[in-house]
A and B are shown apart, each in its own frame.
Chain A
Amino acid sequence: MTTKPQNYYVPAQSIWPIVGAVGLFLIAFGAGFYVQQLNNDQSSGGYILTAGIAVIIFMMFGWFRDVIRESQQGLYSEQLDRSFRQGMSWFIFSEVMFFAAFFGALFYARMVSVPWLAGGSNNEMTHALLWPGFEAIWPLIMTPDGKETQAMPWTGLPLYNTILLLISSITLHFAHVALEKNKRTPLKLWLGATILFGIAFLTLQVEEYVHAYQVMGLTLDAGVYGNTFFLLTGFHGMHVTLGTVFLIILFVRVLKGHFSPEQHFAFQAGSWYWHFVDVVWLCLFIFVYVL
């Protein structure tokens, strides 16, 4: 790579944002239709949704190709690299706030709404008139309406998953260190291992869901415990999936010889994202499973 350019690189016109806008439109419109049509047998929404996802994937290939090409040509100054890093940090902050909304719902349900329904605070009459038999216990294995479910224990699969993710964060860190020391073979091995851990995590998560649905009767509509359980772990699982895809892209780029010890924003971003997903899981493990 040649000397750093001094000017801030402002890209010329690009087709990809508008492609992405059309893709997002199809996803939102299709998803909206799909959800509306759940109760009848139409399926046009599903097709629109699939088309939207295809467009977004197409956009990602094109957009990433442009960015990678520009990066390989050495057009990116240190200042631009800082823009990317700061942008990624703020994006992760927005993700933190997204999860905060669901953690907020979990805490509110546990600390306020369930105790109040059982007569807590000054709600004796609510309790006596509406659901006199309701008891406030967490996890909420019986809703005020009398729907029963079972609580997911933290031992077993969830514990294995925690260990898996923690190890994956460490292996990714080793990969990063290897990259900074320009040791390409350990970089490939550690990064590959991280991806495998990610996939293993997702597999176990699917197994846990199947177990919850088929054996335990713990479903998405099993009252507020099941709601918070599935939305929190579900959105986390989606983020792990995205993170794994991110890592796979990085792996392909590493195989192609991209990234230098000095400049590897994409790697850094992927690794931040992975660590973020890991921290969310730790919070999940503590507040959803253990406590």
Chain B
Amino acid sequence: MKTLTPEIDSQPEAHQEHDHHQPPKGIMRWLLTTNHKDIGSLYLWFSLIMFFIGGAMAMVIRAELFQPGLQLVDPNFFNQMTTVHGLIMVFGAVMPAFTGLANWLIPMMIGAPDMALPRMNNWSFWILPFAFLILLGSLFMEGGGPSFGWTFYAPLSTTYSNDSTALFVFSVHIMGISSIMGAINVIVTIVNMRAPGMTWMKLPLFVWTWLITAFLLIAVMPVLAGVVTMVLTDKFFGTSFFDAAGGGDPVMFQHIFWFFGHPEVYIMILPSFGIISAIVPAFSRKKLFGYSSMVYATASIAILSFLVWAHHMFTTGMPVFAELFFMYCTMLIAVPTGVKVFNWVATLWRGSITFETPMLFAIAFIILFTIGGFSGLMLAITPADFQYHDTYFVVAHFHYVLVTGAIFSIMAAAYYWLPKWTGHMYDERLGKLHFWCSVISVNVLFFPMHFLGLAGMPRRIPDYAVQFADINQIVSIGGFAFGLSQLIFLAVVLKCIKGGEKAPAKPWEGAEGLEWTIPSPAPYHSFSTPPEVK
């Protein structure tokens, strides 16, 4: 550490010239970096690694469910797999991927020299691997890791959980701190660092959607911190927030958790909307249809997301009035979401469309996310939900919106901006192969789950009645195929970093935005002096 101090001390004199600096070499570049592009890459790589770890857990789940009966793992370990799979995919894969994209893209899109608070930016990334180290480490401890589902409902997480719950709680705290700091950075960057002339209604939609996402993050991650703290005190310090014997209520846990949890699902989809709103116009060679309605729709979804949390708990005990309120509010969300889908389709209308890999993923997103939205509408209907609740129908629904929604949009974004990040074109043939393998297998994987759920198969069970065997086998085969297909993505990324056709500053004919005005790969420091936006 001593050797580094002079560098810190000497750098104020050099700050005017820092745009000529090349990145330092070796591991220290990544540990000490304050550069938004480095931190963006760190987030994206972290997310990809977590995606494969969480995916491996999904493979364990699907392997166990390939046949009825208990074959491979014992039920407690199965529960740990479903729990940690969910936690990793939500907090380790999807959210860091979006934060990584935000870090890479937002400063370039708004003409800023970097994120507003670069050192805090580094901090918010580097605490994340440690949080997951704790969470994954708890799996190897005596008694195993968390096994109460990623929603950690009380009393499963209090009365009936094992001692590693304490580690789970503190690792969630760190994930929350990381998200809040990341979100503060994004929001301040967007509000304060826009280039002259980059007025609000000229912002790329990715920036708009992230602005609103960041607000949601700051508003609800502290609530998650609060509820895990109550779980901790209930389990270890004798409080009874979620215990009726002491005057509390397990249902209260669900209210507080879903007050976080529902905005959280929009946190995982709003940036996707921004990505799709960038890609669809680029490959349709048209302006986005209905820009301002997109902004208002995003804001409406964000506001409504605070008023719908109890649709996750229709069967857990609420007055009928409350059930109706949450049902209608939930269905209202279909309106702004419909506006978005309509606008994307209208952008496609009479465009000169080409189907490069990002566009393929974007179109698949529009169709498959809409299917996920429709099954969401079915779940929103209170009386019908009594049938669907906690069945594989719910699993099918949220995997459609999170895998073919959020993950597909992240893939689309990766293909779309890889030339800007690496300076090379990715292998289009491999990219298309990745797309077709993914889109076919993902539907084999998740579509039959709807039927399983409607037929009454409950979620989170390692064993099931024999009549579900056929469909479960199909689902598992789809699952393995989808998992393997993602290795193609890894190959594409590695190949693109190593070499390939040189990418021009603007590799996509119809692409718009400041990020395409700088060379590919983007220089280490872009826009040290802000550009003038006309």
Contact = CB atoms under 8 A, between A and B. Distances in A.
Interface in A1-60: 7-22, 24-25, 27-29, 31-33, 35-36, 38
Give the interface centre of B222, B233, B237, B246 by most chain A CB atoms within 10 Å. B246
B15 A10 contact: yes
B130 to A, nearest CB: 4
A288 to B, nearest CB: 15
Interface residues of A, number: 76
Nearest to A105: B241
B224 to A, nearest CB: 8
Interface in B372-401: none
A268 interface: no
B191 interface: yes
A28 B192 contact: no
Interface stretch (B76-84, B117-125, B339-347, B431-439): B117-125
B117 A227 contact: no
Nearest to B223: A101
A227 B180 contact: no
Chain B CB within 10 A, most for which of A19, A32, A79, A93: A32
Contacts of A14: 8, 32, 34, 119, 122
Contacts of B1: 15, 19
B7 A13 contact: yes
Interface stretch (A82-90, A174-182, A188-196): A82-90
A283 to B, nearest CB: 15
Contacts of B229: 231
Given A13-B24, A101-B222, A109-B248, A32 B167 contact: yes
Interface residues of B, number: 87
A29 B167 contact: yes
A262 interface: no
Interface string B6-33: 0110011011101001001000110111
Interface stretch (A141-149, A150-158, A247-255): A141-149
Contacts of B193: 8, 79, 83
Contact of B120 (A8, A17, A73): A17
A124 interface: no
Given A11-B11, A15-B1, A145-B245, A83 B188 contact: yes
Given A10-B118, A73-B12, A117-B244, A101 B169 contact: no
A140 interface: yes
B247 A11 contact: no
Nearest to B228: A101
B126 A90 contact: no
For A19, A116, A224, which residue has the most chain B Cβ atoms within 10 angstroms? A224
A207 interface: no
Given A28-B170, A97-B218, A13 B34 contact: yes
A124 B247 CA distance: 16
A227 B239 contact: yes
B248 A28 contact: no
Given A17-B123, A21-B130, A32-B167, A86 B118 contact: no
B125 to A, nearest CB: 8
Given A17-B126, A28-B134, A130-B244, A10 B114 contact: yes
A91 B184 CA distance: 7
A12 B247 contact: no
B167 A143 contact: no
What is the predominant secondary structure among interface residues of chain B facing chain A?
helix
A126 B236 CA distance: 27
B226 A220 contact: no
B187 interface: yes
Contact of A144 (B118, B177, B245): B245
Contacts of A86: 116, 187-188, 191-192
A227 B222 contact: no
B164 interface: yes
User: Could you tell me the dominant secondary structure of chain A's interface residues?
Assistant: helix
A104 B224 CA distance: 12
Contacts of A140: 247
B256 interface: yes
Nearest to A93: B218
A143 B249 CA distance: 12
Contact of B119 (A11, A28, A143, A147): A11
Contacts of A108: 249, 252, 255-256
Contacts of A221: 237-240, 246
A126 to B, nearest CB: 8
B303 interface: no
Contact of B166 (A8, A24, A32, A116): A32
Given A11-B119, A12-B14, A25 B240 contact: no
Nearest to A112: B249
A105 B33 CA distance: 41
A214 interface: no
A94 B117 CA distance: 17
A114 to B, nearest CB: 5
Interface in B269-309: none
A87 B15 CA distance: 22
13 contacts: A13-B29, A15-B4, A36-B166, A69-B12, A83-B117, A84-B117, A90-B184, A90-B218, A98-B222, A104-B255, A112-B252, A117-B244, A122-B319
Q: List 9 A-B pairs, minimum CB-CB distance, nearest first.
A: A101-B226, A221-B238, A113-B249, A224-B247, A98-B222, A25-B130, A17-B123, A28-B170, A32-B167
Given A7-B528, A10-B118, A35-B232, 20 more contacts: A11-B118, A17-B120, A17-B123, A17-B126, A27-B170, A31-B166, A36-B163, A69-B12, A70-B12, A90-B183, A94-B218, A98-B222, A101-B259, A104-B223, A105-B230, A221-B237, A225-B247, A227-B239, A227-B240, A231-B229
